[in-house]
Amino acid sequence: MIVVVGCQDNSVSPTQSAVAPVAMSLAPQHPNLQVNHLPNLNNGTVDFTVTPSGGAFVIGNNAVFFPANAICDPATSSYGVGAWNAPCTPLRTSIQIHAVTRVQNGATWVDFSPALRFVPSEDPSRWVWIYMSTLGNANRPLGSILYAPVIGGPAYDETKTDATLRTYSAPGVRLRRIEHFSGYVAPGTRDVWCDDGAINNPPECTGG
């Protein structure tokens, strides 16, 4: 069941500095989705089909929500940095999406294909939202969800150009508006334990 919560206005607000994440209670209107916190779902792939009606989709321990008619038609829309807020024609047919989720280098990553852009709007009820698990640790500080074109690659804070892309955090989950697919990362969502001399330490203990 999806419940819409929140009531704040949040219009597009260009900025030159990153906008810090804040508590979930300050988020504008958004679907109230529950995420999993199961270690066996940390790494995997999911294929799902989005119809023009939109909907909520679970990707391992994460989730994404599409309002109706939220996806730009990839055959006619522009794509790339600088194009995220350009007007576009909504896709009127179903589209299949492939998602890969990984826990790597102390972070949670989700990567989507094909490359898509979402219909711009200043109305939070028309936004696409991503929800990322912080693996059940209720004591983590507030953290961001960043744009990551490649799993394991550089990540970018998009709030430097659009404050509506800030992250909202609650125990166990982060969420934010997204304007496009390829991928996203939630840094610092996994505790790393390094045992001296152990042969099964995670690669982040040795820089590998």
Domain residue ranges in the chain? 3-190
User: Cα separation of 39 and 51, whole Å?
Assistant: 30
Q: How does pLDDT run across 189-205, given as a tens digit for each residue?
A: 544 433 444 344 444 44
> The domain 3-190 is classified under which CATH number: 3.30.750, 2.60.40, 2.60.220, 1.10.10?
2.60.220
The amino acid sitting at 184 is Y
User: Cα separation of 114 and 191, whole Å?
Assistant: 31
Q: Give the model's confidence band at 63: pLDDT under 50 very low, under 70 low, under 90 confident, else very high.
A: very high
Sheet holding 44-50, edge to edge: 44-50, 95-104, 107-117, 180-186, 146-147
Q: How does pLDDT run across 74-125, given as a tens digit for each residue?
A: 999 999 999 999 999 999 999 999 999 999 888 899 999 999 999 999 999 9
* Residue 39: strand, helix, or coil: helix
Spell out a b/e string for 37-49, using b for 16 or more CB atoms within 10 Å of the CB, else e: eeeebbeeebeee
Q: How does pLDDT run across 123-154, given as a tens digit for each residue?
A: 999 999 999 988 655 555 578 999 999 999 99
User: Cα separation of 134 and 180, whole Å?
Assistant: 22
| DSSP 8-state class, residue 40 | G
